[in-house]
């Protein structure tokens, strides 16, 4: 009997992606997004396991097939934000993974708020703001995220959103 329990435990453990967000990180990601959303009167979002599975699969793909290069997935019909973090070189010359939190990821996208012009629904010249507008897109109700660490200690974070934001000609809120 104990061998069966061990085998089932191993199968369950192996079925989870190595870098899927844990429950605390999921909650932190939702809170961080909802802070930006509250600033503009957008309703709060909730976490979606199915969106997280899709995001994790793409993060794993970026690690395995794209060397953690930033490339958006195609054809999912979901909104998607991607964050990249470089490796850290310590004083002893060793290279390691940055300590990246869901708040840091969201704040990176949220910092684009300064470059978004609501009146013209556009970004300042030469700037990007689409990550921010997806974060605050009022019709988006769910988010799910995944992350992967590449062999060189860089990392990618992928968040998927449903319904997708950034619809041409529409303002986010």
**Confidence class of residue 19 from pLDDT cuts 50, 70 and 90?**
low
Tell me if residue 160 falls in helix, strand or coil: strand
Of 98, 84, 97, 109, the C-alpha closest to 32 is: 109
**Span 31-43, average pLDDT:** 99
Backbone CA torsion sign across 27, 29, 31, 37: negative
**Span 143-164, average pLDDT:** 97
11 has a pLDDT exceeding 50: no
- pLDDT at 39 (0 to 100): 99
Block residue for tokens 């897109």: 137
**Which residue ranges form the domains of the chain, and what is each CATH number?**
18-162 (3.40.33.10)
15 has a pLDDT exceeding 70: no
In the chain, what percentage of residues exceed pLDDT 70? 89
Q: How far is CA 81 from CA 1, 9, 97, 156, in A?
A: 45, 33, 21, 10
Q: How far is CA 140 from CA 80, 96, 132, 133, 161, in A?
A: 11, 35, 13, 11, 6
Beta bridge partners of 7: none
Instruction: Encode pLDDT of 38-77 as tens digits.
Output: 999 999 999 999 999 999 999 999 999 988 888 999 988 9
Torsion region of 113: left, alpha or beta (phi above 0 gives left; psi -120 to 50 gives alpha): alpha
Instruction: Encode pLDDT of 109-129 as tens digits.
Output: 999 999 999 999 999 999 999
Q: How far apart are CA 63 and CA 69, in angstroms?
A: 8
What is the gyration radius of the CA atoms in the chain, in angstroms? 18
97 has a pLDDT exceeding 60: yes
**Confidence class of residue 36 from pLDDT cuts 50, 70 and 90?**
very high
**Confidence class of residue 170 from pLDDT cuts 50, 70 and 90?**
very high
């Amino acid at each position: 009997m104990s061998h069966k329990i061990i085998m089932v435990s191993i199968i369950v453990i192996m079925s989870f992606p190595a870098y899927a967000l844990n429950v605390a990180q999921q909650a932190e990601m939702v809170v961080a997004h909802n802070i930006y959303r509250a600033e503009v009167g957008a309703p709060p979002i909730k976490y979606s396991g199915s969106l997280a599975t899709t995001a994790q699969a793409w993060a794993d793909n970026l690690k395995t097939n794209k060397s953690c290069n930033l490339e958006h997935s195609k054809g999912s019909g979901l909104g998607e934000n991607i964050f990249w973090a470089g490796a850290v070189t310590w004083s002893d010359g060793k290279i390691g993974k940055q300590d990246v939190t869901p708040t840091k990821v969201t704040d990176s996208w949220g910092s684009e708020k300064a470059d978004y012009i609501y009146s013209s629904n556009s970004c300042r010249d030469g700037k990007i703001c689409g990550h921010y507008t997806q974060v605050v897109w009022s019709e988006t109700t769910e988010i799910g995220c995944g992350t992967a660490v590449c062999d060189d200690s860089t990392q990618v974070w992928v968040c998927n959103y449903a319904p997708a934001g950034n619809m041409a000609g529409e303002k986010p809120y």
